[in-house]
Amino acid sequence: MVVSKYPSVVTLPDNQKFKLIIDFLEERFKPIKKKEWIWRIDEGLVLNCDMERITLESHYKSLEKIFYYKVVESEPEIPFKEKIVFEDKNFLIVCKPHFLPVIPSGNYLNECLLYRLRTKTGNHDLSPVNRIDKDTAGLVMISKCVENRGIYQSLFMDRVVKKEYEAVVKIEKPVNNNKWKIESRIIKGEPFFRMKSVPGEINAITGIEVKATKENKAVLRLNPVTGKKHQLRVHLADAGLPIVNERFYPTLLPQLIDFEKPLQLISRKLSFKDPVTLKNCCFTSKRSLKEFW
């Protein structure tokens, strides 16, 4: 049994139908059975806004914050390390390895970039400004303080940051251009963790440039304008250029963890003007894809 080192938080909605906190938890988190919540409460893994243990009789109070520790039966250990590329008083730029999620998700609780960095630095206020898939390696910005966090988050929300990725792909059909752009509409697919392209208003834009080709593979430079979940993976699969070691697109394959075959996708560069120091910043990941080329 693995318990998260840090609690998650949920705000109780302004709703009068719940009498007890456990009633809300059971409905809000339906995959978790009531007997599991009873065990967590008995173990002191659910706390009120004063960080005090709640009980099975604790009454529901609208808009109160509840803190709870996530629990999984077991957690995969990721044998690869992150590297801090840059640090100042406001943020970190970190190069994340393949397989490591940025924040807790699924069976990954303590084995995530955020918790590793909190443990390493002792700063519990750390919070990711941008995120990349656990299967993707490369650069992530981490805010160090609450006071100016929103300023850095707005860089990504307003599409001010220039993002550059690199991918090794399989060439399944002839590539007629060295540089082009893909525009599509991406929405949630099936199962819930996949995405798909559908007709409709464009919400995902990716610039693509061929850096090199060899036999049935190519190295691509990717410049996403937008940041939809799995955008690059979906766009490349749709273009007949699936990423090497891709297990989601275009066909969903068994989700086996093979540390010898990481997805060949890296968040290579982040460029922006620092809104606090007003300095022009450009950070590059040195992580290599050459062994798979």
Q: Which whole-number Å values give the CA distances from 36 to 25, 39, 72, 222, in the listed order? A: 11, 5, 11, 44
Q: Per-residue pLDDT tens for 201-227? A: 999 999 999 999 988 999 999 999 999
Query: Options 3.30.2350.10, 3.30.930.10, 3.75.10.10, 3.40.640.10; which CATH number does 83-292 get?
Result: 3.30.2350.10
CA 192 to chain centre: 15
pLDDT band at 292 (very low <50, low <70, confident <90, very high): low
Residues 93 and 270 sit within 8 Å (Cβ to Cβ): yes
Q: Rounded distance, CA 184 to CA 171, Å?
A: 21
Q: Average of pLDDT values for 169-175?
A: 87
Q: 120: part of which helix (H) or strand (E)?
A: helix 113-121
Q: Average of pLDDT values for 30-34?
A: 91
Q: Per-residue pLDDT tens for 250-260? A: 999 998 899 99
Q: Which residue has the higher pLDDT, 281 or 172?
A: 281
Per-domain boundaries in the chain: 2-72, 83-292
Q: Classify domain 2-72 at the CATH topology level.
A: 3.10.290
- Write the Ramachandran bin of 26: left for phi over 0, alpha for psi from -120 to 50, otherwise beta: alpha
- Write the Ramachandran bin of 55: left for phi over 0, alpha for psi from -120 to 50, otherwise beta: beta
Please tell me the pTM assigned to this model: 0.89
Q: Per-residue pLDDT tens for 113-143? A: 999 999 999 999 999 999 999 999 999 999 9
